[in-house]
Amino acid sequence: MKNRIILFYLFGVILAGFTSCDSGRVFDQYREISDSEWHKDSLVVFKIPVNDTLKNHNLLLQIRNETKYKYSNLWLFIEIEQPGGEVLRDTFEIVLADPTGRWLGKGFGGLKTLQTIYRRDVYFPVSGEYTISLQHGMREEILTGIHDVGIRVENI
């Protein structure tokens, strides 16, 4: 009985540790790329509700790529539309592998997950729903090997 109480207590402490580590997260979502084939004309769209216009945030891009992905990088065209219609357009490169070909993302088997900072210290000037659209900017019409694309917004 005493061992069960100790195990139950340890489980509670570990669970509390895992849940408290992500207190800065405001938004964290992935979109699956169907059959890991991302067509050049396909947009991956995220709707991000913003209520707090006083705090600054970090915007992170998250990529899950298969190890059969044949490039070491991924170019993205990014559009951020704020409430009221103002749009910011950008191009961003994510480096997925080092010069020796070793994947920088974490994970076992054939899938690697990489999280990279897109923008630091971002201020959202108005509250409401922001729309972030991602489109791959690689030369291929259909890009194979990208499994999921994600956006994360964190409080600073």
- Of the candidates 72, 74, 78, the residue with the CA atom closest to the CA atom of residue 59: 78
This prediction's pTM: 0.83
What is the chain's mean pLDDT, rounded? 90
How far apart, in whole angstroms, are the C-alpha atoms of residue 112 and residue 105? 5
- 57-76 b/e (C-beta count within 10 Å ≥ 16 → b): bbbbbbbbbeeebeeeebeb
Can you give the pLDDT at residue 22?
67
CB within 8 Å of 52: residues ≥ 6 apart: 26, 124, 127
Tens-digit pLDDT profile for residues 41-79: 999 999 999 998 999 999 999 999 999 999 999 999 999
Q: Is 52 exposed, middle or buried (0-12, 13-18, 19+ CB in 10 A)?
A: exposed
Residue 30 clears pLDDT 70, i.e. is over it: yes
How far apart, in whole angstroms, are the C-alpha atoms of residue 110 and residue 69? 10
Question: pLDDT band at 24, cuts 50/70/90?
Answer: confident
Question: 14 or 22: which carries more pLDDT confidence?
Answer: 22
Residue 12 clears pLDDT 50, i.e. is over it: no
Q: Where are the domains of the chain?
A: 26-155
Can you give the pLDDT at residue 21?
61
Question: 1 or 141: which carries more pLDDT confidence?
Answer: 141
- CATH architecture of residue range(s) 26-155: Sandwich (2.60)
Q: Which 3 state secondary structure label does DSSP give 134?
A: strand
How far apart, in whole angstroms, are the C-alpha atoms of residue 13 and residue 86? 45
Average pLDDT over residues 109-122: 96
